A and B are shown apart, each in its own frame.
Chain A
Amino acid sequence: MTVTSVSAAATIATDQAVLVRGLRRSFGSREVLRGIDLEIRREEFVALLGRSGSGKSTILRALAGLDKGATGEVFVPRQRSVVYQDPRLLPWARVLSNVVLGLEGEDATSRGRLALDEVGLRAHEDDWPKTLSGGEAQRVSIARALVREPDLLLLDEPFGALDALTRIRMHKLVVRLHKRHHPAVLFVTHDVDEAILLADRVLVLTDGRLSLDLPVQIDGPRLRSDPAFAELRARLLAELGVDELSEGAGPGRGHLHFANPIDVPDSEQEIVT
C-alpha cells in the first residue's frame, strides 16, 4: 500500500483531504476490505458505521498509515492524528507531557497548555494519567491529537468506553472543536445515533464494501425527536441488518437514551454555533 501526502499528488482536487482507491486487506484467508473507494473533502465530518468486525478500524488504520499489509491507493494529508477508544496515555508521563509527546520546538509546551485549555483540563496538566477519570483521560487524548493541528482527524470509537452522560459532553466537545479547527474527520463508530448527531455524511461498511453513503440533512439542531432523524436512523439500522421495531434498538429500549442530548444543559462548555 502506498500512503502518499496530498501535496505530492497533483491530480487530486484541492478540496480533498482523503482519496482512497481500491483498498483491499486480508487477514489470512479472510478478506476484510474488498475494494474500498473513499473520498473525504477538507473540513468534512464523515462517520463510518459497521458491525463489529466489519473492518471499520482497518480502514482507519490504513488512513493513519499504520497498516503495512493493505493494497490499493491511499492519499492523505501529512498532518494526521488518531484518537483511540482507549486514551492510550503514557502512565509515567504527566498530562502535559502526554499531550506534547513527540512535538518539537520551543513553543510545544505553550501549545500543549492551549490544547488542554480547549478540552477544559488546563488545571490537570501536572496530574498523573492514572488519577484521571475515563472521560478526562479521553479529553487529554483529544488534546494530544489537536495540538498537532491535524488536517485529518481519525477517531476510532473514541467514546465507546465512556458512560452515557460523559458521552454527551464529549459529543458537544467534538462538535465545538471541529468548528474551531475544522480538520477533515473520519469517525468510526457502531452507534447510529452518534453518527447522525455528529457527522455531515454517514458511510456504512458491509461485507468489505461501502454499501451506503448518505448525507445528514437535518436543518437546525439535531434532535432524536426530529422525523428526519428517525428516518435516517431507520435506514442506517436496516443497512446494518437491524430491524428497529423487532429488536429494540430504539429509544428507551435496552440503551440509556436522552430525548435531545444536544440540549442537555452543560455548565462547563457551550456549543459555538
Chain B
Amino acid sequence: MTLSEVLGPPVQRGQVIADLAPDRSPSAAPRLIQLPTAEVDAPRRRLQSLRAGPQRLLGVALLITVWEIASLAGWIRPQDLAAPTSVVSMGAHLLANGTLETALWASLQRVFWGLAVGVPLGAVLAVVAGLSRTGENLIDGNVQMLRFVPIIGLSSLFVLWLGVGETAKISMVAMGVMFPIYINTYAAIRSIDPRYEELADVVGLGRWGRVRRIVLPAALPGFLVGLRMAMAVAWLLLVFAEQINASSGLGYLIVQAQTYFQSNVIVVCLACYAILGLLTDVLVRTLERLFLRWQPGR
C-alpha cells in the first residue's frame, strides 16, 4: 500500500471537508450562549464569597473534631499526640506560669537580631554585586558557592568558633537569612530594563541618582520576595539551633517536652510557630502594600 492510498487524495485549498465539520452548513444558525456578565454572575459570586469564610473555619473545626474524637476513643495515644483539649489547657497553663512567654521572647529576640544582621548584609552585597563588575566578580561566585552548603551543617563550626551562647544562634540565623535576600535582590537588579539605563543617560542622572531613582526601586520587589523567604528560614534555623544547645526558647521547650513525653507541650510550641509564621506573612504583605503601590492591582 502506498502512502497516498493511506492518506487518500490531497485536500484542495478551500475544499470543504465534510467529515471534520458536519454541522457547519451555511444555513444552520449558530446557537447563542449567554456569557457571564456582572449582573448575571453577581448573585453566585456573592454567595461564594459569603461562604468562603465559614467554609474555611468549618474545615479547620472538622479536623480538630476528628482529632479530639480519635483521642477520646483511644485511637491516638496521648504520648504520641495529645488531644486538642489537652493542648489548649496546657497552652493556658504555660501562659499562666510564664514559661511560654519567656520562651517566645527569647526566640523572638534571636530571630530579630538574626534578621537585623542578615537582611542588610544580603541587601548590601546584592547592590554592590549588581552595580559593579568588580563587585560581581568578587561577591557573586562566593555566594553562589556557599548557598549550596547546608547552613545546618555549619552549626558545628559556629559552636566551635562562637561557643554555645547567643552569638552562635544569631549568627546562624543571620547567615541563613542572607542568601534568599541576596539572591532575590541581585536577580532583580540584574533584570532591570536596560532602556532605563539609557534614559538615565538622556536625562543626565548621576551615579547616586541612578541608584536612588532606578536601581533601588527596581530591586525592591525582589528584595521583598527574599524577605518573605528569609523570615521562614529564620524560624526554621532558630528552632534547629535551640534544639541543639540552648537553655531558653521555643526549641528548648520542645526538646524538654520530648524528654518528658509531653506531646501537648510540643503541639503548643508548633502552634506558636504557625501563628508567628502567619504574623510575619502579614508583616511582609503590609510592607509590599506600602512600598509597591505603583504596581497595578495593589
Contact = CB atoms under 8 A, between A and B. Distances in A.
Contacts of B198: 66
A131 B297 CA distance: 10
Contacts of A148: 203
Contacts of A103: 203
Contact of B205 (A64, A88, A102, A144): A102
Interface stretch (B64-72, B177-185, B213-221): B213-221
A92 B202 contact: no
Interface of A is mostly: loop
Interface centre among A81, A91, A93, A148 (most CB of B within 10 A): A91
Contact of B213 (A81, A86, A90): A90
Interface of B: 195-196, 198-205, 209, 213-214, 217-218, 220, 293-296
Contacts of B200: 102
Interface pairs A-B: 5 shortest CB-CB: A102-B203, A92-B217, A102-B205, A128-B294, A92-B294
Nearest to B205: A102
A130 interface: yes
Given A128-B296, A130-B295, 19 more contacts: A66-B198, A66-B201, A86-B195, A88-B196, A88-B199, A90-B213, A91-B294, A91-B295, A92-B217, A92-B220, A93-B217, A93-B294, A94-B294, A101-B203, A101-B213, A102-B200, A102-B205, A102-B209, A128-B293
A90 B196 contact: yes
Nearest to B200: A102
Interface centre among A65, A88, A129 (most CB of B within 10 A): A88
A62 interface: no
A82 interface: yes
A117 B199 CA distance: 23
A59 to B, nearest CB: 16
Given A66-B201, A102-B209, A144-B203, A90 B217 contact: yes
